[in-house]
A and B are shown apart, each in its own frame.
Chain A
Amino acid sequence: MKDFRLAIAQIESKFGDLAYNIGKHARVAKESCNSGANMVLFPELGLSGYSLRDLSYNLAVRPDGNEMRPIIEASKEIAIFCSFPEMCPDHVVRISGCLYIGGEIAQIYRKIHLPTHGLFEEARYFGKGNTIRAFDTPFGRLGIMICRDLWHPEEAYVLSRDGAEMIIACSAIPARVLGKNGFSVKKFFERTTGNIAFTNQVFLASTNKVGYEDGVAFFGNSVVFGPDGHELAILPELVEHVQIVDIDSSVLAKARYNMSLYRESDFGTVLDEMERIEKNA
């Protein structure tokens, strides 16, 4: 893994306006590049807006589609991770996150865990992904997750066993359950993401959406954690904010040396037990 500068672009999208949002992503990517960042992360479904319902069909795009040109062009200068409703090769629409590096698709990831309860209705409109895979980039070996995936620790575990040194993620988290000390979602989100970084000893960065859709405010509060579990950045709640974070790759070796979590993890036993459970199911 290399040292690099990561931009967390916690931005608002214009609901349903693909062209506008693609232009905004490309513009913010260029600004981040000018500020010295080598990679920029955008929120979940940032190109389309989140609460798509039937618009998921109308707005589904292919990662190499013509409308993506501004982002693909901008990615020649800075690596760009963004998210959109994808018309997949099997003609099913999924929630995808794509990392573009050097004007090429470095990796496309399709969200696996689709929240469908309360105000969430993702499984009603989207197909689920079925691939968890780390991949090599000039920055290091990465893994991608999208929002609810972060709440399933097995996914981060698979990525870290597959060699991921850093997990890049995006989300759209509604600000909710306001108590006397702020929104309860803050505590749960930071606890969950911090724990992924700490227990798997990987970097974790997640960019969260802001802005309102039909009265729902998205929370922001994007996070970057180091492999020792320390927070490298917590962005402000509810407002647009772009922050550049220096990723010091040496922390990875230090964290894994100081505390042997990564090497003591018993993957073989987990696998045996999983196989037994599956056989008995």
Chain B
Amino acid sequence: MLEIDLERAQKLIEGFICSCVSGASMKGAVLGLSGGLDSALVAGIVSKALGPDNVLGLLLPFRQSSKDSIEHAKLVAEKFGVKTKIIDISNMVDGYHEEIDRFRLGNLLARLRMCVIFDQSMASKSIVLGTSNKTEMLLGYSTWYGDMAAGCYPIGDIYKTQVRALAKYIGVPDVIIEKAPSADLWPGQTDEGEIGNTYERLDQILDMLVDQRLPKEKIAQRGFSLSEVEAIELKMRKSQFKRVLPPVCKVTGRTIDQDFRYIRDWSVG
């Protein structure tokens, strides 16, 4: 079920990016290049969709960031020919003068990067491409108004294992495809370690829960434990707030997002 037609997927996403850029009356796109798989894939697709000259990849290291992250981000930029800018955010973090634990620091880094990316997008008349994939968006494994802040999500309906296949297809360097996925918010962090399961299993379970609407008891009969499925279901439910507009207190007859309903592309043209 997770196997997709890679050529069509690439074409679909390229068309999507073009429609988002022209719909916003912008010229190009910016994205954070973390050195990881998701941003590498989006960089590859957007460089083909808009031409590499219309793409700016931002490398935003913090002093604790892994050296590989920068090297791999440069490798991606070189491979797809996109322009890059390196802005070290360590001083921005230091200026905050708060004693914080690593989780708060992780969120802070994601949100400071968001500030820089959005500012750079204004400067270059570009839209911000989110690089979240379907797996992390469903699990809420992302920072609200941090890495989730974006003008559009080109790979938001593509599971992580599909991201890997598509990345291979469009020529993302092997070293990036093969390394363990990490948000690199603290040394040694890995996604799978933190989420407590492998992407292989997470994607199969999510596909059955979300796309196939299978009851969890049925999923449990297919080589997964009920507690494993329930843990994923709970993560999905607990992170719903990240996937919708915050509620508006209803006062009038036409409240935004309740009975004032227009698609986002209303603004096009």
Contact of B16 among A181, A182, A183, A217 (CB under 8 A): A217
| B8, CB-defined interface residue at 8 Å | yes
Q: What is the distance, in angstroms, from B111's C-beta to the closest C-beta of chain A?
A: 24
Q: How far is the CA of A238 from the CA of B152 in the complex (A)?
A: 20
Choose among A16, A180, A181, A182 the residue that contacts B266 (Cβ–Cβ < 8 A): A16
Q: Does B260 contact A (CB under 8 A)?
A: yes
**Does A238 contact B15, Cβ atoms closer than 8 Å?**
yes
The interface bits of chain A over 199-242 (1 if a CB of B lies within 8 angstroms of the residue's CB, else 0) are 00000000000011111010000000000000000000110000
- Whether the pair B12, A53 counts as a contact (CB closer than 8 A) is no
Q: Mark B1-14, 1 if CB is under 8 A from A, else 0.
A: 10111001101100
Which listed residue (A178, A183, A214) contacts B263, Cβ 8 A? A214
Tell me, in angstroms, the Cα distance from A15 to B23 when the chains sit together: 10
A181–B9 CA distance with the chains assembled, in angstroms: 11
Q: Is A175 an interface residue (CB 8 A)?
A: yes
| Interface presence of A14 (CB below 8 A) | yes
Give the chain B neighbours of A178 by CB distance below 8 A. 4-5, 8-9, 12
**Residue in contact with B5 in the complex, picked from A14, A49, A180, A211, CB distance below 8 Å:** A180
Q: How large is the interface on B (under 10, 10 to 19, 20 to 34, 35 or more residues)?
A: 20 to 34
Cα(A212)–Cα(B15), bound, Å: 8
Chain B residues in 8 Å Cβ range of A217? 12, 15-16
A267 at the interface (CB under 8 A from B): no
The complex places the Cα of A181 from the Cα of B8 at a distance, in Å, of: 9
Q: Complex formed: what's the CA distance from A181 to B6 in Å?
A: 9
B268 touching A14, Cβ below 8 Å: yes
Asked if residues A212 and B19 are in contact (CB atoms below 8 Å), the reply is: yes
A55 within 8 A of B: yes
Q: Across the two chains, which residue of chain A brings its CB closest to B157?
A: A215
With contacts A178-B4, A212-B19 taken as known, whether A15 is within 8 angstroms of B12 at the C-beta atoms is no
Is residue B98 contacting chain A, with contact meaning CB distance below 8 A? no
Contact check, B269 vs A15: say whether CB atoms are below 8 A apart.
yes
* Residues of chain A within 8 A of B12, CB atoms compared: 175, 178, 217, 238
Is B265 part of the contact surface with A, judged by Cβ < 8 Å? yes
* CB interface residues, B 219-269, toward A, < 8 Å: 260-266, 268-269
| B261 lies within 8 A of A54 (CB) | yes
A51 adjacent to chain B (CB < 8 Å): yes
Query: Does any Cβ of B come within 8 Å of A179's Cβ?
Result: yes
Using Cβ atoms and an 8 Å threshold, which residues of chain A touch B261? 53-54
Smallest CB separation, B211 vs chain A (Å): 8
Q: Are A55 and B16 in contact (CB under 8 A)?
A: no
In the complex, A49→B264 CA distance in Å? 13
B269 & A17 in contact (Cβ 8 Å cutoff): yes
User: Residue B262 contacts which of A17, A54, A175, A183 (CB distance < 8 angstroms)?
Assistant: A54
**Cα of A175 to Cα of B23 in the assembled complex, Å:** 19
Instruction: Given the known inter-chain contacts A212-B19, A238-B15, please indicate yes or no for A180 contacting B263, CB distance below 8 A.
Output: no
Report the separation of the CA atoms of residues A183 and B4 in the bound assembly, to the nearest whole angstrom.
9
| B269 lies within 8 A of A20 (CB) | yes
* Given A217-B12, A217-B15, A238-B12; A15-B4 close (CB under 8 Å): no
Known contacts A178-B4, A178-B9; A15/B266 CB under 8 A: yes
Measured between beta carbons, the chain A residues less than 8 angstroms from B19 are 211-212
What distance in Å separates the Cβ of A49 from its nearest Cβ neighbour in chain B? 8
**Please, could you name 12 A-B residue pairs with CB atoms under 8 Å apart, sorted by A?**
A14-B269, A15-B268, A15-B269, A16-B269, A49-B265, A51-B263, A53-B261, A178-B5, A180-B4, A212-B19, A215-B153, A238-B11
* 9 cross-chain pairs, A with B, having the tightest CB-CB distances, nearest first: A212-B19, A180-B3, A53-B261, A214-B263, A51-B263, A15-B265, A178-B4, A17-B269, A214-B265
Given A16-B268, A212-B19, 18 other A-B residues pairs in contact with their CB atoms under 8 A: A14-B269, A15-B266, A16-B269, A49-B265, A53-B262, A178-B5, A178-B8, A179-B3, A179-B4, A179-B5, A180-B5, A212-B23, A212-B265, A213-B265, A214-B265, A215-B152, A238-B11, A238-B12
